[in-house]
Chains A and B, each alone.
Chain A
Amino acid sequence: DIQMTQSPSSLSASVGDRVTITCRASQGISNDVAWYQQKPGKVPKLLIYAASTLQSGAPSRFSGSGSGTDFTLTISSLQPEDVATYYCQKYYSVPLTFGGGTKVEIK
């Protein structure tokens, strides 16, 4: 099975900071990666798919990049409402797997 290793597991940053979260696949998976935001007590929400396509309605400060094995989610200017846990997910093959999550907090 292809594993998704996400880092860091948590981070604390100031409002306005640029935040970067990475996900590494154990094998090449083209650009078959999505990113989700899950706020405390809420349902995961799709932010990015196909590694870099912004989901309709997602704020433009979120962006994704990468292909093959290394993927990145970037928040260009962290806002208080971005406090959440972020997950990557690959859909290249079964089993569909998620990264372990990155908890983002405000410093």
Chain B
Amino acid sequence: ETGVTQSPTHLIKTRGQQVTLRCSSQSGHNTVSWYQQALGQGPQFIFQYYREEENGRGNFPPRFSGLQFPNYSSELNVNALELDDSALYLCASSFGTGGYYGYTFGSGTRLTVV
């Protein structure tokens, strides 16, 4: 059983650029959630995708957007990057949308905006 894989592992971008982060779900999981973890903070919920539709969104601006594909993999896109977007971005997959099912997290993508 493969876990959640994220790519790339590290990324450096310039302010104003756009970035796409990728996530492959664990086998059998149909829901993907994205979290942002700033340095010294806990992960913060960005949004969740279920059946290729956004199913809940945290307090993040519209320049954060996502996609889920038929194979349940997912992308996180961030436009007009700002310095404060520098963080670890975590993808988590689960089966179903209830919190009781628990997540499997990937190792994350470390994004640095300069």
A, B assembled together? no
Chain A contact residues, CB within 8 Å of chain B:
none
Chain B contact residues, CB within 8 Å of chain A:
none
